Each structure stands twice: as structure tokens, then as C-alpha cells.
Structure 1
Amino acid sequence: MPNVQPETLTLDRLETPIGTALLVSDEAGVLRAFNWTDYEAKMRSWVARHYPRAALVDGRSPTRPAFEAYFAGEPAALDRVPWKASGTVFQLRVWEALCSIPAGETLSYRGLAERIGRPSAVRAVGLANGANPVAVVVPCHRVIGTNGSLTGYGGGLSRKKWLLAHEGAQVREALAA
């Protein structure tokens, strides 16, 4: 089946306890990108590169209710958000594996590499994790260092810490500061 590119993408802005989120969805209501307003230029550039024929218009995303429920205290609400990401076969494999980490739990980069059957690909897994265009729904924030440290998050470590606490994950405070 050919990869059909969307003609129109809707950009919605959602106020959250940790900043304004940007939700980009296609005509079918499928999430195509997620980021924060402090990274809007980077996200717009990514959208233009991956969906060059799509018009990006302001509007209300059909994914908004699930995000509102998530930020109101229902971590599992994002499990029902349909998403489609543009990436390599390896990236897509990593992103699918991220979705197997339940809310309230974390996994190390090494553990994620092992989960996809590539135990020696820890760095590549880290790079794929960082390239995730649909963050929060594809929960890259649930990946931590082997020693339990909060390492890397495109939206900033303070957001990562908040998201994990919001979901009920136990994070070692000495390392989370």
C-alpha cells in the first residue's frame, strides 16, 4: 500500500500544566506531530520536510480530548490516540516498542534496545528515541538511563520529570533534580 501523504494538517494549541502543546493531526484525525511552543520553529520545519505537500492550518485537533484527559489525570487516555510517524524502519520499530512501556513505568535505553532484539544498538535506540515526532503519545519520556537518571528529553528534563510524576512513575529524587 502506498504511503499516502495528507493534503491538510491541523495545528492545535493546547494549554497544559507544563506549557502550550502543539498537536498536528491529519484529515483522518491521526496525530502526525507533537511538540511544545518553545520548539515550534523546529516542529514546523520537520512537518514541512516530511509532509511537503500538506497545508498546515490552525484548528482543533480531534486528538485534543484525549490530551485534555491525560493532563487532567488520566494517563491511559493517550493510548487511544491514533498516530502515524514518518521515519526509518528502525525508528518506527523503536517508536512501536516505546508504546509497550505502560504509564507509570520506565525502561532504560539498554532495556529498550533489548526489547527490539538489538541489544548492542543502545546509541541508535537513543537517537531514534530523540527523533520521535509524536512525543508523549509515543512515550519517549519513559526511557531513562541505566542508573535511573533522567537523561535527555526533547521538551526538557523538567517536563520529563513532570510527565513521569504525573503518570505515577517512581524516579529517584537525587537523580531527578
Structure 2
Amino acid sequence: MRAALPALLLLSLLSACRPQEVRPPDAYALSGTIAGDWGAAPRLRLALVGTGVPVAVTNTSAIGQNVVSSGPNTWQFGFDLPGIPAVTGVYQVIAFDDANNNARYDVGETFARNRQWLVYSPVSGTVDTVEIPEFLGGGELLPAMTVTRGWNLYDRSVALGAGNPSPFTRLTSYTLSR
């Protein structure tokens, strides 16, 4: 048994270090379309940006994703949503042109977002009003709302109430446009 332990340890280390599997866009937890004029040969990537409670700003594009051209100025994308245990937060997935090719959204890079907010809660209940960080446009306030444990979609273009926000485990209609 002791001889098998180093082999198992090595195998688990190798599997943890291998690159993430690239899947078709519709195989991810969040998928949709990116549209608009992004200029010549954009390096489109996606990032999860937002804020958690207590104020923990998130800006990460080191999450499994795939962006595939589907015609002129149109792309299909898929994006994995992380579990964020014990932290309530309000996030958006943004598309950005990774101009400096560092695989991270940097202020000043061209980006697109929408009016749909992804609200994560470790428990079902009421989320208090949240102020959006300045680098996301600031000044917007999300109202207090009732959410279900896990990921919830709040659409600011629809009245808050029954069905808004709505819980989801898979969302296939997240549209980003410039």
C-alpha cells in the first residue's frame, strides 16, 4: 500500500496541472452571444467582474471559457461559473478585447456588458442593496432582493418581482454587445 501512495500522489498532481478542457460553447454553465464592432482581429476573452460582501472586488478571466466566431461581428461563447462559498456577491460576465494579451481585463480595454446581473448567495434569503464598483461604471444600486442559494439572474430591464431574480444552474441566453 505504501508503494502505491507516491504513484497516486503523482497522478493527482499531474491531473491538477493539465490544461482545462475546451468544450463547445453550449457545454458551459453560462453561454450566449457576443456581437458588435470590435475592430480588426480582436482577442476576445471573458471575465467575471463584480463585488462580494464584504467588499471583495472580483476581476478574473482565469475561468474555463471558449469564444468561437460564428460570422462577421458575431461570436458564440461558453463560460464556467465558479462556486464562491460563503460569499454573497453581484457579478457580470463581460467580454473584452485583451489588447495586451495578458488574459486579464485591464481598465481601458474595450469591453461589453449587459443589464443582467449574476447574484451568488451561499444561502436562500434576502440580499441587501449593493453598490457597484467604480470600474464597472459605478453609481448603480441594486435593490434588496430575495434570492435562492447558488446563482441567480437579475435582469435590470425587467421589474423586480416574481421570476426576477430567478435561480439557475445553467444559463444559455447571456448576450453581450458593443
**TM-score, length-scaled by structure 1:** 0.25
**TM-score, length-scaled by structure 2:** 0.24
